Structure 1
Amino acid sequence: MLTYKNKNICGRGGLLSFLTILGLTLSAGGCPPKSQSKSEQEKTKVLQLLEGSRKITTILRQKTLPEIKKVLNTDEVKELEKAINEWDQEIQKGIKVTKDLTEADRETETGARVTYVEQMQHVRDKYLEIDRIKDNIYNQINSGKVKATLANADKDIENIKSKDKQFYSE
Structure 2
Amino acid sequence: MSVSTRKITPSLWFDSEAEKAAAFYCSIFNNSAVTKTSYFGESGPGPAGSVMVVEFEIEGQPFIGLNGGPHFTFNPAVSFTVHCSSQEEVDYYWTKLVEEGREDQCGWLQDKYGLSWQIVPDSLTEMLQDENTEKAEAAMKAMLQMKKIIIADVKKAYDEAR
Please say whether Structure 1 and Structure 2 have the same fold, judged by a TM-score greater than 0.5.
no
Which structure: larger Rg?
1
More strand by share: 2
Give the TM-score taking structure 1 as reference length: 0.30
Give the TM-score taking structure 2 as reference length: 0.31
Q: Which gives a bigger RCO, structure 1 or 2 (Cα 8 Å, sep 6+)?
A: 1
